[in-house]
Amino acid sequence: MKRAHLSDDRLIEICLADPLAPLDEPHLRNCERCERRRLVLASTLGDVTARVISEADAAFPAERLGRQHARIMQQLAHLGRPARVIAFPAGRTQEPARPSVRHARRWFAATGAVAVAFLVGIFTEHLAHQLPAGGVPQTRMASRAADTPVTRTVVASMSDDELLGQIELAVGRTGPAALRPLDALTPRAWDDVH
């Protein structure tokens, strides 16, 4: 009768367990082949573990660990302490105002601003009453109002061709003279058609 060998998965289970499972221990003792397979797997796992550890240790040598330890303890020493305020400009350390004083100052400033605004309003109204009824400002407004309809009628009566012509003239007059030779050299689609 041929003896059954251990499956690969069972071998992995055995390698991850210790002591050996009672069921498989006799088989491993008697089966050289399965024992050899188990040793190969255990060796592979040992190599992986050693490699993984050596990688991490190479990345973190003792000096680096020492620096890290010092940084951790330095940060812990500053835990819970208030932040240091750096004076700016240097040498002029200004005591921060107390909250109650700051609060009172704000109230004074707000009350003063309201009073000034009230006085300015009264003064303006007083000036408005003293000025003559048909003064300069009203005349100017009337003249502006009279000008507007004239402009509108001119624009409305102008045809599209006239408007475009005026735009071309305006552009021609104000365009930079240095660009005119370049414009002359540029082929025009309209000239090709005609």
Partner 1 sequence: MSSTAPKTAARVHPLPTSRDSELAASIKALVLAGERDAARERFADLVSRQQRRAVRIAYNYLRDAHDADEAVQDAFLKVFTHITSYREEYPFEVWFTRILVNGCLDLRKARTRRLRWALPMSSQPNAPSMPEPAAQQPSPEDRLMSSERARQITSAVEQLPDRQRLVFTLCHISEHTTSEISQALGLSEATVRVHLFRAVRKLRKLLERPRESARTHPRGLDPETPTV
Binding residues for partner 1, per CB under 8 A?
A: 2, 4-10, 12-13, 15-19, 27, 33, 36-37, 39-60, 64-65, 68-69, 71-73, 75-77, 79-80
Cβ closer to partner 1: 54 or 93?
Answer: 54
User: In whole angstroms, how close is the CB of 41 to partner 1 at the nearest point?
Assistant: 6
Cβ closer to partner 1: 43 or 138?
Answer: 43
Give 39-75 as a DSSP string.
Answer: HHHHHHHHHHHHHHHHHHHHHS-HHHHHHHHHHHHHH
User: In whole angstroms, how close is the CB of 91 to partner 1 at the nearest point?
Assistant: 33
Cβ closer to partner 1: 70 or 169?
Answer: 70
User: In whole angstroms, how close is the CB of 39 to partner 1 at the nearest point?
Assistant: 5
| Cβ atoms of residues 34 and 61 within 8 Å | no
| Cβ atoms of residues 5 and 31 within 8 Å | yes
Cβ closer to partner 1: 39 or 110?
Answer: 39
User: In whole angstroms, how close is the CB of 32 to partner 1 at the nearest point?
Assistant: 10
E strand or H helix that includes residue 126: helix 99-130
User: In whole angstroms, how close is the CB of 137 to partner 1 at the nearest point?
Assistant: 60
Per-residue DSSP letter, 89: S
In angstroms, the CA 27 to CA 16 distance is 17
Q: Using CB atoms within 10 A of its CB, is residue 15 exposed (0-12), middle (13-18) or buried (19+)?
A: middle
| Cβ atoms of residues 14 and 41 within 8 Å | no
Cβ closer to partner 1: 71 or 152?
Answer: 71
